[in-house]
Amino acid sequence: MTSGATSIDAARVELLLNELRLPGVKAIWPKLAAQSDKEGWPAARFLAALAEHEAADRTRRRIERHMVEARLPAGKTLATFEFESVPMLSKAQAMALAAGDVWLKTGANLLLFGPPGGGKTHLGAAIGLALVEDGWRVLFARTTDLVQRLQVARRELALESAIAKLDRYDLLILDDITYVSKDQAETSVLFELIASRYERRSLLITANQPFGEWGRIFPDQAMTLAAIDRLVHHATILEMNVESYRRKVALDRRRGPGRPPVHATPNELEKAVTDAGNAA
């Protein structure tokens, strides 16, 4: 075959791959074709190599899309989580939860409790990141922000549709659920979201307050009990009752390297925590 005919065929291949939307194959086929010609591959081996590359490329692009849509806070990974600061938390258990196969397939929930600064958000986001990398779809949201969006949907008579769209996510991470105000409109849409995902899609919830304080979230005891019942029926609950990591870092910064710990006055402590928040 002449070089001119070869060039025409190559151009046809490029056009066809564009039409078929096979960018992975388009990027690699000249290199694989040259290797195939040089080494005398059978046609089946050449086609298999192209298909494997396209499949891998699609997986990579899908994970990239899911990573963007997950809206996870940056830098929160299992590798950077200080497990030694949370002795009641098993690293093996956290890694198992990050695999997701057991609990996400059954629509189970994960609830993280502890004081502010104890690492709940970091751990939740880190688990979410690991799940996205493993092919699951995740959405991270501050509970107050998501509730406000659902309230807008209700006013536009589109709440059912908005909640249904959240079903595309295998895991919905609701950060700081106890910051939702005790308002009938807010808490009712939050309850509807919890009820709609019950035993179908998973929730990961972080909370500063134990269940006994959730009466501050929902307007009446019946709704409080109903929400808790749905959340804990199929759930793993992790208690992270440790000293605030942010507070510890702030005080360490103020002391400086090599200086012994000192007792911080309330004003000093408040300033240290504020400084740490500004630096973050």
Alpha helices in the chain (DSSP H): 3-19, 23-39, 43-70, 91-99, 101-104, 120-133, 143-155, 159-165, 184-197, 221-232, 245-255, 266-279
The encoded tokens of residue 104 equal: 């996400």
SS3 (DSSP) at 199? coil
> Which amino acid is located at 10 in the chain?
A
Cβ partners under 8 Å of residue 266, min gap 6 = none
162-174 burial, b if ≥16 CB within 10 A, otherwise e? Answer: bbeebeebbbbbb
Q: How confident is the model at residue 143 (pLDDT cuts 50, 70, 90)?
A: very high
The pTM assigned to this predicted structure is 0.76
Distance CA 226, CA 232 (A): 10
pLDDT tens sequence across 12-35: 888 988 888 888 888 888 999 999
Determine how β-strand 138-142 pairs with β-strand 171-175.
Answer: parallel
Q: How confident is the model at residue 278 (pLDDT cuts 50, 70, 90)?
A: very low
**To 5 degrees, how large is the angle CA 148–CA 111–CA 272?**
75
Q: Is 23 exposed, middle or buried (0-12, 13-18, 19+ CB in 10 A)?
A: middle
Q: How confident is the model at residue 10 (pLDDT cuts 50, 70, 90)?
A: confident
pLDDT tens sequence across 190-209: 999 999 999 999 999 999 99
According to DSSP, the residues that pair with 271 across neighbouring strands are none
Reference 118, options 244, 272, 254; nearest CA is 244
